[in-house]
Structure 1
Amino acid sequence: MTEEFTHSPPPPLHWPGANAADERSAGQDLWQACAEQLARDLPEAQFNTWIKPLVAQVAQDFSKITLLVGNRFKLDWIRAQYASQITALLGDLYGQPMALELALVPRESVARTAHTRPSASGPPGAPGAESASAGRDEAPQALRHRLNAALTFETLVEGSANRMARSAGMHVAGMPGHLYNPLFVYGGVGLGKTHLVHAVGNRLLASRPQAKVLYVHAEQFVSDVVRSYQRRTFDEFKERYHSLDLLLIDDVQFFANKDRTQEEFFNAFEALLTKKSHLVMTSDTYPKGLSNIHERLVSRFDSGLTVAIEPPELEMRVAILINKAQAESTEMPEEVAFFVAKNVRSNVRELEGALRKILAYSRFNQKEISIQLAREALRDLLSIQNRQISVENIQKTVADYYKIKVADMYSKKRPASIARPRQIAMYLTKELTQKSLPEIGESFGGRDHTTVLHAVRKIAAERQQLTELNQQLHVLEQTLKG
């Protein structure tokens, strides 16, 4: 059964000399570019649940794209919630309308893929959402540990933004159950937290293939707790989670307001530490910044090593782009990587999305990758950035956050309650706009560029040392980026 959403397919795309393999690859690039955009537009849990598992089949003439869905419920949900958004994105990326079909995965395919990909749980409140049951006898190793084999330390680009977290993760993988237990990694969306925890699991399994390792998103743990209570399968639940050598759990902030889940996680936490197993957790904020989490659980989170992953600096963003382009068998000129890195500052996921757009645009238009091509491929992104993040917007947002007047940003007043927010606004202006130091100084009451440089360096250094300041800057950056 299929569901179709447009009815006027475009004329065939003609590529001189293109063969079937090229066309299939281009089709997959198109879907990947669409998926990357959806990853930026949707909450992470929604994307991972509904979009990531989809398998795309693109017609050779690009008249239609078919997305294969695992069951009828998911098909209906995606049709109602995401079909129009996906259709619009595909049209934008391809340059003309494309027909979108949703189809159920053939039964024989379901039987084959059931042993290669874990089921995903629906977002909280989604009707009829189900997830893979805890305690099943899942023979294939990949399903047992739920690790993505492609996410390794070798593919995780190192920089000052993630060096400490990466080093700690490698130590845990080499000597689990010793130092840094638990390891608590926090940072904003798309900075590589999930990549890091998968890398820890993959490194441990490479040296100890029989180790019991499990990666699980916090929402999956919640689902497993609920199901164990509903089905009275407590023994299976405990056998699964209390017998591990390494538990990797993503986004523990999702435990908020779930008392029963927090109780069971506390019990699992204690059981694993007692048997000298290791826990690695991620969150969007540091332990004491978590809301509606039991104090005794927060104290456990904070009892090992807590380390932040920051937004990648310019050089790291350039390296990420070049490396990921090479992984796609494409060479990205360094000047293009610098151009993209200077304009995509927030996180690795957005960098990957920008790269996908550029690769797809280059392939579809049969043009070499250049700064001009990158500018054309990313025109929507650049337009949004230029429109939304202005010096005036930064000044107003920072003033509102610290409860001072916008006029104080330009004034000569120097009390700490005003000077500090002003320095933060200068720092954010340097990070989020293309303004030069003299231009920034002019926007802040005609101050000298050395004053701006001092403010930028001061806030950048303190961000590395002061957890509270780092959290405030993270909130401001997310607010400004919408």
Structure 2
Amino acid sequence: MVEKNSWDSIKERLHSSLTMEAWQNWVARTRFDGYDSGCLRVAVPDDATRFWLESEYAPKVSGAISELRLPVERIQYVLMNGQGTPRAPERIIVNGAPPMNEFQSLSAQLNPRFTFEHFVVGSCNQFAHAAAVAVANSPARSYNPLFIYGGSGMGKTHLVHAIGHALSENFPHFRVAYTTGDRFINEMVQAIRGDRMVAFHQHYRNADALLIDDVHTLAGKERTQEEFFHTFNELYDHQKQIVITSDQLPKNIPGLVERLRSRFEWGLMVDVSAPDLETKMAILDRKAELEGVQLPDEVRVFLATKTRSSVRELEGAFTKLVAYSSVTNSKITIGMAQQALRQMFGGTEKRITIDAIVRAVAERYGMQPAQLKQRSNAQEIARPRQVAMYLCKELTSASLPEIGRHFGGKHHTTVLHSVRKVDELRQLDPDLNRLVHSLIDSLQ
């Protein structure tokens, strides 16, 4: 006779063969529910637990039954719904495969413009781009997994979409699965609720390449991480390419289980950072070419210098400018750009004038404002002038050419050099950094 302690004995065997996390998630909360004619009934708290016991841990359960010499021919998992009866008819794993689930096609999920041809390479992303191209040309041979990390809007999604496009083109018979962390979670939940986990597994674990964007969203979700852990292992063990993006390094993702963290670090980790000025202007050139827009040089410099954080912000400013031009049926000029993007590039700081900055800097250095506009390159004039140009760029909406005209007709490249010089010196010279902070506070 099979009694309650029989399932407890099976649980003890599972406890010794599973990780503590897996045992607590999928076994600890189960209980004996009954036995009849060779069928052992086990009550489980939810569909997810039932699925894991029926699929992932079925061999271990069968092994424990054999070792204990129990007269059990099959196990029926029932939900704890108050009466101890199953929500659905008896499920036998061999013959009870759930119906196939439908997943979006790869082409429907990838942005058609996010290709390698449309990706602008700069010092901020050169290594990541090279690694992505290598993976697309030789999947599972170059870098596996490839882990791309960086802040929001830096181009990670563009790269992973580009890999997807290139894999489909280079290897037409490849099964490429693309998803995001949030979508993976939602699909898993829906699959459990709809008894479609077999289809879920077939979609992801039978892929030749898995591309997952924003994997950090799995953090803190233990059961989803458990599922992704097994998916990762299945693909990696069969030499399938895995590409992952995140907003930070694996070791810095809070709530990420250690075994996933270590696996993410098995391959190559590359970062994408904020674009420098040259890369920003190259991005604008590419966008203008794609849109068939004539972008004056001073407008291009204006957009590149005023956007600070990301490629997404830069592209957003460009899109808003083009839309404004189309709606108002007006030509893109520096004046129009300043008007169209006035709110985007700040509020109260726009009221600060170049003349006010010149007066403040001159007073701080014990000079006359007119001296800052002289053509002299003497150090006692050049350095204050560089500081003034830097503040004009930081605190006003003026373009670099416009700033140059206020300082004796300096070329915008001279202004750009001054901005970079002061930015560099602020990192090296604490006194200069304090002076700049003091000037900013006084002007605002």
TM-score of the pair, normalised by structure 1: 0.53
Contact 2:106–2:178 (8 Å) recurs in 1: no
The residue that corresponds to 2:424 in the other structure is 453
Q: Distance in 1 between matches of 2:149 and 2:139?
A: 20
Structure 1: runs of 5+ lacking an equivalent: 1-132, 390-425, 437-448, 460-482
The residue that corresponds to 1:163 in the other structure is 126
The residue that corresponds to 1:362 in the other structure is 325
Q: Distance in 1 between matches of 2:429 and 2:282?
A: 26
Can you list the C-alpha shifts for 1:195-220, whole angstroms capped at 9, x where unaligned? 10000110111111111112111111
The residue that corresponds to 2:228 in the other structure is 265
The residue that corresponds to 2:250 in the other structure is 287
The residue that corresponds to 2:179 in the other structure is 216
Residues 164 and 367 from structure 1, CA distance in 2 versus in 1: closer, same or farther, beyond 3 angstroms? Answer: same
Q: Letter of the aligned partner of 1:211 in structure 2?
A: F
1:180 equivalent to 2:143? Answer: yes
Contact 1:134–1:224 (8 Å) recurs in 2: no
SS of equivalent residue, structure 2 residue 124: coil
Q: Letter of the aligned partner of 1:291 in structure 2?
A: P
Aligned with residue 340 of structure 1, among 303, 309, 327: 303
The residue that corresponds to 1:278 in the other structure is 241
The residue that corresponds to 1:202 in the other structure is 165
Q: Distance in 1 between matches of 2:99 and 2:426?
A: 52
Q: Distance in 2 between matches of 1:315 and 1:241?
A: 40
Aligned with residue 433 of structure 1, among 379, 383, 394: 394
Residues 361 and 240 from structure 1, CA distance in 2 versus in 1: closer, same or farther, beyond 3 angstroms? Answer: same
Residues 368 and 452 from structure 1, CA distance in 2 versus in 1: closer, same or farther, beyond 3 angstroms? Answer: closer
Deviation at 1:137, TM superposition (A): 4.8
Moved more, 336-345 or 134-143: 134-143
Q: How does 1:242-321 map to 2 (within 5 A)?
A: 242-321=205-284
Residues 153 and 137 from structure 1, CA distance in 2 versus in 1: closer, same or farther, beyond 3 angstroms? Answer: same
Residues 168 and 458 from structure 1, CA distance in 2 versus in 1: closer, same or farther, beyond 3 angstroms? Answer: farther
The residue that corresponds to 2:204 in the other structure is 241
The residue that corresponds to 2:294 in the other structure is 331
Q: Distance in 1 between matches of 2:101 and 2:429?
A: 53
| Bigger Cα Rg | 2
Q: Distance in 1 between matches of 2:395 and 2:162?
A: 35
The residue that corresponds to 1:136 in the other structure is 101
SS of equivalent residue, structure 1 residue 247: strand
SS of equivalent residue, structure 1 residue 249: strand
Q: How does 1:44-63 map to 2 (within 5 A)?
A: none
Contact 1:218–1:249 (8 Å) recurs in 2: yes
Q: Distance in 2 between matches of 1:248 and 1:319?
A: 27
SS of equivalent residue, structure 2 residue 190: helix
Contact 2:101–2:196 (8 Å) recurs in 1: no
Contact 1:312–1:348 (8 Å) recurs in 2: yes
Residues 176 and 318 from structure 1, CA distance in 2 versus in 1: closer, same or farther, beyond 3 angstroms? Answer: same
Q: Distance in 2 between matches of 1:312 and 1:237?
A: 38
SS of equivalent residue, structure 2 residue 344: helix
**How many residues in Structure 1 have an aligned counterpart in Structure 2?**
275
Q: Distance in 2 between matches of 1:309 and 1:386?
A: 30
Deviation at 1:305, TM superposition (A): 0.8
TM-score of the pair, normalised by structure 2: 0.57
Can you list the C-alpha shifts for 1:229-276, whole angstroms capped at 9, x where unaligned? 223322211111111111111111111111110000000000001111
Q: Distance in 2 between matches of 1:450 and 1:373?
A: 29
**CA RMSD between the two structures:** 3.1
Deviation at 1:154, TM superposition (A): 0.4
Residues 359 and 451 from structure 1, CA distance in 2 versus in 1: closer, same or farther, beyond 3 angstroms? Answer: closer
Contact 2:349–2:395 (8 Å) recurs in 1: no
Deviation at 1:386, TM superposition (A): 3.2
Contact 1:134–1:240 (8 Å) recurs in 2: no
Contact 1:135–1:240 (8 Å) recurs in 2: no
| Overall identity of the aligned pairs, in % | 39
Q: Distance in 1 between matches of 2:115 and 2:134?
A: 14
Q: Letter of the aligned partner of 1:235 in structure 2?
A: V
Deviation at 1:367, TM superposition (A): 2.0
Q: Letter of the aligned partner of 1:297 in structure 2?
A: L
The residue that corresponds to 1:465 in the other structure is none
SS of equivalent residue, structure 1 residue 176: coil
Q: Letter of the aligned partner of 2:101 in structure 1?
A: R
Deviation at 1:451, TM superposition (A): 8.8
Aligned with residue 376 of structure 1, among 339, 344, 355: 339
Q: How does 1:118-157 map to 2 (within 5 A)?
A: 135-137=100-102, 142-143=107-108, 146-157=109-120
Q: Distance in 2 between matches of 1:180 and 1:312?
A: 24
Residues 451 and 170 from structure 1, CA distance in 2 versus in 1: closer, same or farther, beyond 3 angstroms? Answer: closer
Can you list the C-alpha shifts for 1:120-168, whole angstroms capped at 9, x where unaligned? xxxxxxxxxxxxx99535696624xx22222100001110111111100
Q: Distance in 2 between matches of 1:290 and 1:151?
A: 26
Residues 338 and 212 from structure 1, CA distance in 2 versus in 1: closer, same or farther, beyond 3 angstroms? Answer: same
Q: Distance in 1 between matches of 2:258 and 2:167?
A: 31
Q: Distance in 1 between matches of 2:127 and 2:177?
A: 23
Q: Distance in 1 between matches of 2:150 and 2:216?
A: 12
Contact 2:177–2:203 (8 Å) recurs in 1: no
Q: Letter of the aligned partner of 1:220 in structure 2?
A: R
Q: Distance in 1 between matches of 2:179 and 2:339?
A: 39
Contact 2:350–2:395 (8 Å) recurs in 1: no
SS of equivalent residue, structure 1 residue 158: coil
The residue that corresponds to 1:58 in the other structure is none
Deviation at 1:381, TM superposition (A): 1.6
Q: Letter of the aligned partner of 1:240 in structure 2?
A: H
Q: Distance in 1 between matches of 2:288 and 2:307?
A: 16
